[in-house]
Each structure stands twice: as structure tokens, then as C-alpha cells.
Amino acid sequence: MIAFIIYFAAILSAISASHIYDVNKFGADSTGRKPSTHAIQKAINKAASNNGGTVHFPHGQYLSGAIELKSNIILDFADDVVLKFLDDPKEYPPLHKKLPNGKIVNLQFTPLIRAFDHINITIRGNAVLDGHGETWWKRMPPPSTRPVFLQIFWVRYLTLENITVKSSPMFNVNLKNCDDVTIRGIKIRNPANYVDPGPNTDGINVNSCRRVHITGVNISTGDDCIALDANGKGKTKTPTEDVLIEDSHMYAGHGGVSIGSVTSGGLRNVTVRNCIFNGTNRGLFIKSRRGRGGLVEDIHYHNIQMVDLRKEGIAIAAIYNGSDPGLRSRDFYWEPVNETTPFIRNVEFKNIHGDSVLNPIFIVGLPESPIENVTFTNVKIESKLDVFTNNTKNVVINGKVLDS
């Protein structure tokens, strides 16, 4: 009986050991002198061919080109690992691919880390992933497109935990059509860029995803810290919904949390709470424009401290044309409503404090689509400018109905 138990335990431990794939055993160079792209990919492919497993990076420095994650893979970093990415564009060729789900991926550059049409992927550990963006920003200044750092499309059950993503050529984390996402304790670092257009280094860019929980993140970047979009038209409209963002700190960035301006798929049931924004351009921003379409509703912001904002504290605009002067233009005219008209309604702000250089609250709708039912309770944002609203319906600021 005892022999049997020992034998059984040995089998169990052999199984669990075989679920760990050490990149060094596949030939990765942990001194970071020579590229380990192929070794890392071999470890991932081997794990994937065994129905998944943990691909582990022991302590050290690594150098890599583009890598592809697959179903049931945990990319696991030992503490203090540094994974640097090569900055040679040849490592990131254009990517055109038909996925098993029938969707087509068509990218100008292969992302540094990618996963398309998979299930159950985790990237975790107290490691620094360095995208070597400095070279890219110089070589291909805005408005050029550059490769995205982590680009993950059509993945269900995705977790990103504790990693630091820095110096991204473009967006840091870009999720599209993903469900059941948890992003916890990650840090994003890119140079501040307070003027448009910058190198487009959105921190976490979420597009048409459901059930997304972002918690304990720390972001300082050159574009929106967190951006929520939803795209598609007609039958391909895919909403972003059931999103919770909490306990997070944003430093430099265009918006602390921005919604839109790609709203065509619709965004609903989004909560942002218990966050600190320190020095972003705007704090909370909902933006769309004619032509985008989509309905943005049921959005809640609670317990947010926003200090030293360089532009408006809170802005909701259905006239955002991609540049700030557009927000100030007052020559809008009435147009008939159709599928391309955006609607924004049922937005709630509670316990928000801070200070901003431009208007504390700025809400501008369209004549044919006023921004409707926006409630502010216990909101105090210090500014030399006043609240500004136009083309709104049922805006209530600290108990006072304010319509325009």
C-alpha cells in the first residue's frame, strides 16, 4: 500500500513537473546577450502541444523578438527578470492571418507579444518587459503606426499580473474581443506626452471586451492611461460591457480613464472607483462624434481623487474630432439622427475631488443627440474656470438641475 502511494505520488509529481517549461532548457540565454526568440517560442509551442503549461523564465535578462502565446499557457517570470525586445523592424513583419474562428487579423506589424483566438492565458511575475520604444518613436514619429506591445484578440480568460510594461513602441496593452479579463498589479511606464499627437502609447486599450476587471494598476504614459472603445458596425457591432476599474493610480496620461471615441459597438455598465489620478491631462473623459454611432450608458465613477489635471477635470463630448480645438468649436448644426449618431446617457459621478486648469466639468452634446441624465453628487473640482454645458438634458450637479 505504502509502495503504491509512493509510486502514485511520483507519477503526480512527474506530471506537474512536466507542466513547467523552463525557457533556459530550450536554449534561452539568461545573460541577455543573444536573442532567445526561438528558444522562448519553442518552450511555448512545446507546452501548447501538451495541452498547456507554465513557461517559466528563471532569474536573468533575456532578449527577444515577437512571441506568440497559445491556449492554456502561463508565461511566468521569476522576480526581477528583464525581458527586452529587439528594435529591428524585421523582427515584427506585417501580419495577415485567418484565424480558426474565421476572423482576419491584418496588422502592419507583428506585435511584440501576441495571442489571437485562444483561451486561458496568463502573464505574471514581478518582471520588466522593455519594448525599446525610444528607437521606434524616433525612427517612426507620429502619426506613424508602430508595433503594439501586448496585442490580444479573441481570448477568453486572460490574466495579466504584476508585470511592468515599459517603453512600448505603441499601445502597451491592447485587448480586442476578449472576455473574462483580469489585470492586476501591473505597472506601465512610458514618457509623458502632454500634447497631441504623441507616439500613441495608450496604457491599457480595451476594445469590444466583456467582463474586464482592472485593479491595482499604476500607469504613467504618453496617451490615455486606460481607454475603453467598442467597434464594429451593423451586425458586427460588439459592445464593451461589465467593466470594473478600481484601486488604481494614474500619473502622466491624456486621460485617466477615457471612453471612446470609437463607440460604434456601444459601451455599458462601466464602473471606475477608488482611484487617484495625479497629473493627467483630463481625468474622466467620454468622447464620441457624428459618424461613430453607438450608445454609451450606465457609466459610474465613484471615489476618485484627481489632482493637478492639466485640462478639464471631467469632460463628456459628442463632438470630439480628435483634436482639442474641436471641443471648443461652436458652429455645430442640427443633423438627422441615423445609425451613425452617437448617444451618451445615464452617467453618474459621486465623491470626486481635485483640481483642474480648464473647466472642472465640460459637457457638450449634439443638437440632435443631447447628452442625457448625468448626475454629480459630492463632486468638487477646483478650477479658475466654470462648469460648461451645451446640448444636454437633465444634468444635475450637486442637487442643482442645469440644462442647456
CA distance 145 to 112: 14
Cell numbers standing for residue 76? 511566468
> Residue 107 or residue 317: which is nearer to ligand NAG going by CB?
317
- Binds ligand NAG by CB under 6 A, chosen from 391, 392, 395, 397: 391
307 sits near ligand NAG (criterion: CB under 6 A) = yes
346 sits near ligand NAG (criterion: CB under 6 A) = yes
> Residue 107 or residue 127: which is nearer to ligand NAG going by CB?
127
Among 19, 59, 254, 353, the active-site one is 254
CA distance 73 to 71: 6
Regarding beta strands 104-107 and 95-98, do their DSSP bridges make them parallel or antiparallel, or are they unpaired?
A: antiparallel
Q: Which amino acid is residue 217, in one-letter code?
A: V
Evaluated on CA atoms 278, 284, 289, 292, the torsion sign reads positive
> Residue 194 or residue 332: which is nearer to ligand NAG going by CB?
332
Instruction: Indicate the length of the chain as a whole number.
Output: 404
- Binds ligand NAG by CB under 6 A, chosen from 29, 390, 396, 402: 390
Q: Which stretch binds ligand NAG (CB under 6 A): 5-13, 99-107, 119-127, 142-150?
A: 119-127
> Residue 105 or residue 364: which is nearer to ligand NAG going by CB?
364
- Total residues contacting ligand NAG (rule CB under 6 A)? 43
Q: Which stretch binds ligand NAG (CB under 6 A): 2-10, 148-156, 231-239, 336-344?
A: 336-344
20 sits near ligand NAG (criterion: CB under 6 A) = no
Q: Which stretch binds ligand NAG (CB under 6 A): 57-65, 84-92, 195-203, 335-343?
A: 335-343
Question: Is the backbone of residue 179 left (phi > 0), alpha (psi -120 to 50) or beta?
Answer: beta
Q: Hey, which residues does 358 pair with through a beta bridge?
A: none
Give the rounded distance of the alpha carbon of 93 from its chain centre: 23
Nearest to 246 by CA among 296, 198, 312, 300: 300
Evaluated on CA atoms 64, 69, 73, 75, the torsion sign reads positive
- The answer to whether residue 254 is catalytic is yes
Residue window 166-205: x/- pattern of binding to ligand NAG, with contact defined by CB under 6 A: -------------------x-x------------------
Q: Which amino acid is residue 403, in one-letter code?
A: D
> Residue 170 or residue 347: which is nearer to ligand NAG going by CB?
347
CA distance 128 to 83: 6
Inter-residue contact 183 to 206 (CB < 8 Å): no
Nearest to 391 by CA among 344, 349, 338, 337: 344
Report the SS3 class of residue 319.
coil
> Residue 144 or residue 321: which is nearer to ligand NAG going by CB?
321
Q: Would you tell me which residues interact with ligand NAG (CB under 6 A)? A: 52-53, 72, 74, 120, 124-126, 161-162, 185, 187, 218, 242, 244, 249, 269, 271, 276, 278, 290, 298, 305, 307, 321-323, 325-326, 329-330, 332, 335, 338-340, 346, 348, 367, 373, 375, 390-391
Hey, which residues are catalytic here? Answer: 254
